[in-house]
A and B are shown apart, each in its own frame.
Chain A
Amino acid sequence: MRRALNRLKIGESAYVVQVKTEEPLRCRLLDLGFTPGTKVTLQRMAPLGDPLEVNMRGYLLTLNRRDAAAIMVQRSKPR
Chain B
Amino acid sequence: MILALAGNPNCGKTTLFNSLTGANQHVGNWPGVTVEQKRGTLVQRPEVEVIDLPGLYSLNAYTPEEEVARDYLLHQRPQAVINIVDATVLERSLFLTLQLLERGIPVVLALNMMDEVRTRGDVIDTARLSSELGVPVVSISARRGEGIDKLIDTALHLSPVECKANRQQQMDAAMRYKRIEEIMRRAVKQKQRRRTISDRIDAVVLHPLLAYPVFALVMLLVFWLPFGSVGKGLQQLMTSCIEGIQTWLSVWLVRMSVSAWLQGLVIDGIFAGVGSLMPFLPVILLLFLCLSLLEDSGYMARCAWIMDRPLRAMGLAGGSFIPLLLGFGCTVPAVMATRSMKDQRQRRMTVLLTPLMSCGAKTPVYTQLASLFFPNNPFRAVVCLYAGGIALAAGIGRFLRGTSVSGESASFVMELPPYRLPTAGNVLRSMAHRAGDFMKRAFSVILLASAVIWFLRSFTFLIQPTTSMEGSMLGIVAGWFVPIFAPLGFGSMAAVTALLCGLMAKENIVSTLMLLAGSAGVSSAFSGQAGAAAYVTFVLLYSPCVAALTAIRRELGSWRWALMAALGQTGLAWLCSWIVFRLMGG
Residues from 79 to 106 in B contacting A, C-beta threshold 8 Å: 88-92, 95
Bound CA span A60–B298, Å = 12
Q: Does A1 contact B (CB under 8 A)?
A: no
Q: A24-B62, A50-B308 are in contact. Are A60 and B411 (CB under 8 A)?
A: no
Bound CA span A53–B418, Å = 13
B416 to A61, Cβ gap below 8 A?
Answer: yes
Q: A27-B60, A35-B177 are in contact. Are A51 and B89 (CB under 8 A)?
A: no
Bits for A20-34, please: 1 = Cβ < 8 Å to B, else 0: 000011011111110
Residues from 388 to 435 in B contacting A, C-beta threshold 8 Å: 411-416, 418
Bound CA span A35–B95, Å = 12
Q: A25-B411, A32-B92 are in contact. Are A60 and B416 (CB under 8 A)?
A: yes
A46 to B62, Cβ gap below 8 A?
Answer: no
Residues of A near B212 (CB, < 8 A) are: 47
Bits for A46-77, please: 1 = Cβ < 8 Å to B, else 0: 11111101000111111110110000000000
Bound CA span A64–B343, Å = 14
Bits for B194-212, please: 1 = Cβ < 8 Å to A, else 0: 0000000010001011011
Tell me the minimal C-beta distance from A43 to chain B in angstroms. Answer: 8
**A51 contact from B177, B211, B412, B415, Cβ within 8 A:** B412
Bound CA span A53–B92, Å = 17
Bound CA span A24–B64, Å = 13
Q: Does A44 contact B (CB under 8 A)?
A: yes
Bits for B169-202, please: 1 = Cβ < 8 Å to A, else 0: 0001110011000000000000001000000001
B411 to A31, Cβ gap below 8 A?
Answer: no
Residues of A near B60 (CB, < 8 A) are: 24, 27-28, 31
Could you tell me how many residues of chain B have their Cβ less than 8 Å away from some Cβ of chain A? 35
Residues of A near B310 (CB, < 8 A) are: 48
Bits for B247-262, please: 1 = Cβ < 8 Å to A, else 0: 0000000000000000
Q: Does B150 contact A (CB under 8 A)?
A: no
Residues of A near B209 (CB, < 8 A) are: 47
Residues of A near B412 (CB, < 8 A) are: 51, 62-64
Q: Does B318 contact A (CB under 8 A)?
A: yes
B206 to A28, Cβ gap below 8 A?
Answer: no
**B57 contact from A24, A31, A50, Cβ within 8 A:** A31
Residues of B near A35 (CB, < 8 A) are: 173-174, 177-178
Bound CA span A33–B322, Å = 25
Q: Does B309 contact A (CB under 8 A)?
A: yes
**B416 contact from A28, A31, A38, A53, Cβ within 8 A:** A53
Tell me the minimal C-beta distance from A23 to chain B in angstroms. Answer: 10
B92 to A60, Cβ gap below 8 A?
Answer: no
Q: Does B305 contact A (CB under 8 A)?
A: yes
Q: A24-B60, A33-B91 are in contact. Are A62 and B416 (CB under 8 A)?
A: yes
Residues of B near A32 (CB, < 8 A) are: 57-58, 92, 413
User: Which among B60, B173, B308 has the greatest number of chain A C-beta atoms within 10 A?
Assistant: B173
Q: A24-B62, A31-B58, A31-B173 are in contact. Are A63 and B95 (CB under 8 A)?
A: no
B173 to A46, Cβ gap below 8 A?
Answer: no
Residues of B near A49 (CB, < 8 A) are: 309
**B174 contact from A30, A58, A60, A61, Cβ within 8 A:** A30
Tell me the minimal C-beta distance from A12 to chain B in angstroms. Answer: 17
Give the residue name and chain of the B residue nearest to A53 (CB).
B416
Tell me the minimal C-beta distance from B217 to chain A in angstroms. Answer: 15
B57 to A51, Cβ gap below 8 A?
Answer: no
**A30 contact from B90, B173, B206, B318, Cβ within 8 A:** B173
**B415 contact from A30, A46, A47, A59, Cβ within 8 A:** A59
User: Which among A49, A64, A66 has the greatest number of chain B C-beta atoms within 10 A?
Assistant: A64
Q: Does B306 contact A (CB under 8 A)?
A: yes
Bound CA span A30–B92, Å = 11
Bits for B505-544, please: 1 = Cβ < 8 Å to A, else 0: 0000000000000000000000000000000000000000
Bound CA span A63–B416, Å = 10
Residues of B near A57 (CB, < 8 A) are: 89, 91-92
Tell me the minimal C-beta distance from A25 to chain B in angstroms. Answer: 6
B308 to A33, Cβ gap below 8 A?
Answer: no
Q: Which 4 A-B pairs have the closest CB atoms?
A: A30-B173, A31-B58, A48-B309, A60-B416
Can you report 21 A-B residue pairs in the complex whose CB atoms are below 8 A from each other? A27-B62, A28-B58, A28-B62, A28-B413, A31-B57, A32-B57, A32-B413, A33-B92, A33-B177, A35-B173, A38-B177, A47-B306, A50-B308, A53-B206, A53-B416, A58-B91, A59-B92, A62-B413, A62-B415, A64-B411, A67-B413
Extra contacts besides A46-B309, A50-B308, A59-B92 (18): CB < 8 Å: A25-B411, A27-B62, A31-B58, A31-B60, A31-B173, A32-B413, A35-B178, A48-B306, A48-B309, A51-B308, A51-B318, A57-B89, A59-B89, A61-B413, A62-B415, A63-B411, A64-B412, A64-B413
